[in-house]
Amino acid sequence: MAANKANSQARQEAVERSRKEAERARAKKANNQARQEAVERSKKEAEAAKRAKRAAENDENAEKAKKAAENAEKAKRAAEKAKKAAEKAKKAAEAARRAEAAAAENAKKAAEAEAARRAAAAENARRAEAAAARRAEAARRADVLNTVKRNLNKIKNNSSISRNNKIKLGRKIYKIATPKLHPDKRGENATEDFQNLGTKFAEFKESVSRRTA
Protein backbone atom coordinates (compact mmCIF):
# COMPACT_ATOMS: atom_id res chain seq x y z
CA MET A 1 0.00 0.00 0.00
CA ALA A 2 2.77 2.34 0.89
CA ALA A 3 4.48 1.59 -2.42
CA ASN A 4 1.41 2.27 -4.43
CA LYS A 5 0.84 5.48 -2.57
CA ALA A 6 4.45 6.47 -3.28
CA ASN A 7 4.11 5.66 -6.98
CA SER A 8 0.88 7.54 -7.16
CA GLN A 9 2.43 10.52 -5.48
CA ALA A 10 5.45 10.34 -7.80
CA ARG A 11 3.15 10.23 -10.79
CA GLN A 12 1.21 13.14 -9.39
CA GLU A 13 4.37 15.14 -8.91
CA ALA A 14 5.56 14.25 -12.41
CA VAL A 15 2.24 15.40 -13.82
CA GLU A 16 2.50 18.56 -11.78
CA ARG A 17 6.03 19.13 -13.00
CA SER A 18 4.95 18.54 -16.58
CA ARG A 19 2.02 20.90 -16.14
CA LYS A 20 4.29 23.57 -14.63
CA GLU A 21 6.88 23.07 -17.37
CA ALA A 22 4.12 23.35 -19.99
CA GLU A 23 2.87 26.51 -18.29
CA ARG A 24 6.39 27.88 -18.18
CA ALA A 25 6.83 26.94 -21.82
CA ARG A 26 3.52 28.59 -22.71
CA ALA A 27 4.44 31.62 -20.63
CA LYS A 28 7.84 31.80 -22.29
CA LYS A 29 6.24 31.39 -25.68
CA ALA A 30 3.68 34.03 -24.86
CA ASN A 31 6.41 36.30 -23.57
CA ASN A 32 8.49 35.72 -26.68
CA GLN A 33 5.43 36.27 -28.83
CA ALA A 34 4.64 39.44 -26.92
CA ARG A 35 8.21 40.65 -27.38
CA GLN A 36 8.06 39.73 -31.07
CA GLU A 37 4.75 41.51 -31.40
CA ALA A 38 6.21 44.51 -29.59
CA VAL A 39 9.18 44.47 -31.95
CA GLU A 40 6.85 44.18 -34.92
CA ARG A 41 4.70 46.99 -33.58
CA SER A 42 7.82 49.09 -33.10
CA LYS A 43 8.90 48.34 -36.65
CA LYS A 44 5.46 49.14 -37.99
CA GLU A 45 5.26 52.30 -35.94
CA ALA A 46 8.73 53.27 -37.16
CA GLU A 47 7.69 52.53 -40.75
CA ALA A 48 4.48 54.48 -40.24
CA ALA A 49 6.49 57.36 -38.80
CA LYS A 50 8.84 57.24 -41.78
CA ARG A 51 5.89 57.14 -44.17
CA ALA A 52 4.26 60.00 -42.32
CA LYS A 53 7.51 61.94 -42.48
CA ARG A 54 7.91 61.17 -46.18
CA ALA A 55 4.29 62.11 -46.76
CA ALA A 56 4.81 65.35 -44.89
CA GLU A 57 7.97 65.96 -46.87
CA ASN A 58 6.13 65.06 -50.04
CA ASP A 59 3.30 67.38 -49.07
CA GLU A 60 5.83 70.13 -48.36
CA ASN A 61 7.64 69.42 -51.60
CA ALA A 62 4.33 69.31 -53.42
CA GLU A 63 3.41 72.67 -51.94
CA LYS A 64 6.78 74.06 -52.92
CA ALA A 65 6.40 72.54 -56.36
CA LYS A 66 2.91 74.03 -56.59
CA LYS A 67 4.20 77.45 -55.61
CA ALA A 68 7.11 77.07 -58.01
CA ALA A 69 4.68 76.13 -60.78
CA GLU A 70 2.50 79.10 -59.91
CA ASN A 71 5.54 81.39 -59.93
CA ALA A 72 6.64 79.87 -63.24
CA GLU A 73 3.17 80.48 -64.66
CA LYS A 74 3.25 84.07 -63.42
CA ALA A 75 6.71 84.52 -64.92
CA LYS A 76 5.46 83.01 -68.18
CA ARG A 77 2.50 85.40 -68.30
CA ALA A 78 4.79 88.31 -67.46
CA ALA A 79 7.20 87.24 -70.21
CA GLU A 80 4.33 86.95 -72.71
CA LYS A 81 3.06 90.36 -71.64
CA ALA A 82 6.55 91.81 -71.98
CA LYS A 83 6.92 90.14 -75.38
CA LYS A 84 3.62 91.63 -76.56
CA ALA A 85 4.63 95.03 -75.22
CA ALA A 86 7.99 94.74 -77.01
CA GLU A 87 6.27 93.73 -80.26
CA LYS A 88 3.84 96.62 -79.89
CA ALA A 89 6.71 99.01 -79.22
CA LYS A 90 8.58 97.58 -82.21
CA LYS A 91 5.54 98.08 -84.45
CA ALA A 92 5.09 101.61 -83.14
CA ALA A 93 8.77 102.36 -83.75
CA GLU A 94 8.52 100.92 -87.26
CA ALA A 95 5.39 102.96 -87.95
CA ALA A 96 7.13 106.07 -86.65
CA ARG A 97 10.17 105.30 -88.79
CA ARG A 98 8.00 104.84 -91.88
CA ALA A 99 6.09 108.02 -91.11
CA GLU A 100 9.34 109.91 -90.62
CA ALA A 101 10.77 108.46 -93.84
CA ALA A 102 7.56 109.33 -95.72
CA ALA A 103 7.61 112.85 -94.29
CA ALA A 104 11.26 113.25 -95.25
CA GLU A 105 10.55 111.91 -98.74
CA ASN A 106 7.56 114.22 -99.12
CA ALA A 107 9.62 117.14 -97.87
CA LYS A 108 12.39 116.21 -100.30
CA LYS A 109 9.93 115.97 -103.19
CA ALA A 110 8.33 119.24 -102.17
CA ALA A 111 11.75 120.91 -101.99
CA GLU A 112 12.71 119.46 -105.36
CA ALA A 113 9.40 120.56 -106.85
CA GLU A 114 9.84 124.04 -105.38
CA ALA A 115 13.41 124.19 -106.65
CA ALA A 116 12.25 123.05 -110.08
CA ARG A 117 9.43 125.60 -110.02
CA ARG A 118 11.81 128.37 -109.06
CA ALA A 119 14.33 127.24 -111.65
CA ALA A 120 11.60 127.14 -114.29
CA ALA A 121 10.33 130.55 -113.20
CA ALA A 122 13.87 131.93 -113.27
CA GLU A 123 14.45 130.37 -116.70
CA ASN A 124 11.15 131.78 -117.97
CA ALA A 125 12.03 135.18 -116.53
CA ARG A 126 15.47 134.96 -118.12
CA ARG A 127 13.97 133.99 -121.46
CA ALA A 128 11.37 136.69 -121.20
CA GLU A 129 14.04 139.21 -120.31
CA ALA A 130 16.22 137.99 -123.17
CA ALA A 131 13.27 138.14 -125.57
CA ALA A 132 12.42 141.64 -124.36
CA ALA A 133 16.06 142.63 -124.78
CA ARG A 134 16.09 141.16 -128.29
CA ARG A 135 12.90 143.02 -129.14
CA ALA A 136 14.30 146.23 -127.71
CA GLU A 137 17.54 145.73 -129.61
CA ALA A 138 15.63 144.94 -132.81
CA ALA A 139 13.51 148.03 -132.30
CA ARG A 140 16.63 150.11 -131.70
CA ARG A 141 18.28 148.76 -134.88
CA ALA A 142 15.06 149.33 -136.81
CA ASP A 143 15.02 152.90 -135.51
CA VAL A 144 18.64 153.33 -136.63
CA LEU A 145 17.77 152.03 -140.09
CA ASN A 146 14.71 154.25 -140.33
CA THR A 147 16.74 157.27 -139.22
CA VAL A 148 19.41 156.45 -141.81
CA LYS A 149 16.74 156.04 -144.48
CA ARG A 150 15.12 159.38 -143.60
CA ASN A 151 18.41 161.22 -143.49
CA LEU A 152 19.62 159.69 -146.77
CA ASN A 153 16.33 160.59 -148.44
CA LYS A 154 16.59 164.16 -147.14
CA ILE A 155 20.10 164.46 -148.53
CA LYS A 156 19.15 162.79 -151.81
CA ASN A 157 16.14 165.05 -152.32
CA ASN A 158 17.93 168.28 -151.33
CA SER A 159 18.62 169.94 -154.62
CA SER A 160 20.88 172.54 -153.02
CA ILE A 161 23.56 169.95 -152.21
CA SER A 162 25.97 168.79 -154.92
CA ARG A 163 26.29 165.16 -155.83
CA ASN A 164 29.74 164.77 -154.31
CA ASN A 165 28.64 166.40 -151.07
CA LYS A 166 25.56 164.21 -150.97
CA ILE A 167 27.77 161.14 -151.22
CA LYS A 168 30.11 162.54 -148.54
CA LEU A 169 27.19 163.29 -146.22
CA GLY A 170 25.64 159.86 -146.95
CA ARG A 171 28.97 158.15 -146.21
CA LYS A 172 29.16 160.06 -142.93
CA ILE A 173 25.66 158.87 -141.97
CA TYR A 174 26.67 155.32 -142.98
CA LYS A 175 29.81 155.42 -140.83
CA ILE A 176 27.89 156.76 -137.85
CA ALA A 177 25.30 153.98 -138.18
CA THR A 178 27.82 151.18 -138.85
CA PRO A 179 28.92 150.51 -135.23
CA LYS A 180 25.29 150.63 -134.16
CA LEU A 181 24.42 147.74 -136.48
CA HIS A 182 27.68 145.81 -136.95
CA PRO A 183 27.38 142.11 -135.86
CA ASP A 184 30.73 142.27 -134.06
CA LYS A 185 29.25 144.84 -131.71
CA ARG A 186 25.52 144.07 -131.74
CA GLY A 187 25.56 140.27 -132.14
CA GLU A 188 24.53 137.89 -134.90
CA ASN A 189 20.93 139.15 -134.89
CA ALA A 190 22.24 142.46 -136.31
CA THR A 191 23.66 140.80 -139.43
CA GLU A 192 20.53 141.33 -141.51
CA ASP A 193 20.15 144.93 -140.34
CA PHE A 194 23.81 145.60 -141.09
CA GLN A 195 23.33 144.17 -144.59
CA ASN A 196 20.25 146.33 -145.03
CA LEU A 197 22.33 149.36 -144.00
CA GLY A 198 24.89 148.53 -146.69
CA THR A 199 22.13 148.00 -149.23
CA LYS A 200 20.48 151.32 -148.39
CA PHE A 201 23.78 153.19 -148.66
CA ALA A 202 24.59 151.46 -151.99
CA GLU A 203 21.14 152.34 -153.31
CA PHE A 204 21.64 155.91 -152.07
CA LYS A 205 24.96 156.25 -153.92
CA GLU A 206 23.54 154.73 -157.07
CA SER A 207 20.52 157.00 -156.97
CA VAL A 208 22.63 160.11 -156.32
CA SER A 209 25.14 159.14 -159.02
CA ARG A 210 22.34 158.96 -161.62
CA ARG A 211 21.22 162.48 -160.81
CA THR A 212 23.03 165.55 -161.97
CA ALA A 213 24.53 167.88 -159.47
Q: What is the pLDDT of residue 56?
A: 66
Q: Residue range 92-107: average pLDDT?
A: 89
Decide: 163 and 209 in contact? Cβ < 8 Å.
yes
| Domain-wise residue ranges, the chain | 136-210
- Residues 130-164: tens digit of each pLDDT: 889 888 988 999 999 999 999 999 999 999 999 99
Q: How far apart are CA 159 and CA 143, in angstroms?
A: 26
Q: Residue range 88-106: average pLDDT?
A: 89
Question: What are the C-alpha distances in Å from 185 to residues 79, 177, 191?
Answer: 87, 12, 10
- pTM of the full predicted structure? 0.46
Percent of the chain beyond pLDDT 90?
A: 36
Q: What is the dihedral of CA 192, 198, 199, 204, to 10 degrees?
A: 150
- Residues 46-90: tens digit of each pLDDT: 888 788 788 667 778 778 868 888 888 888 988 889 899 888 989
Q: Is 9 exposed, middle or buried (0-12, 13-18, 19+ CB in 10 A)?
A: exposed
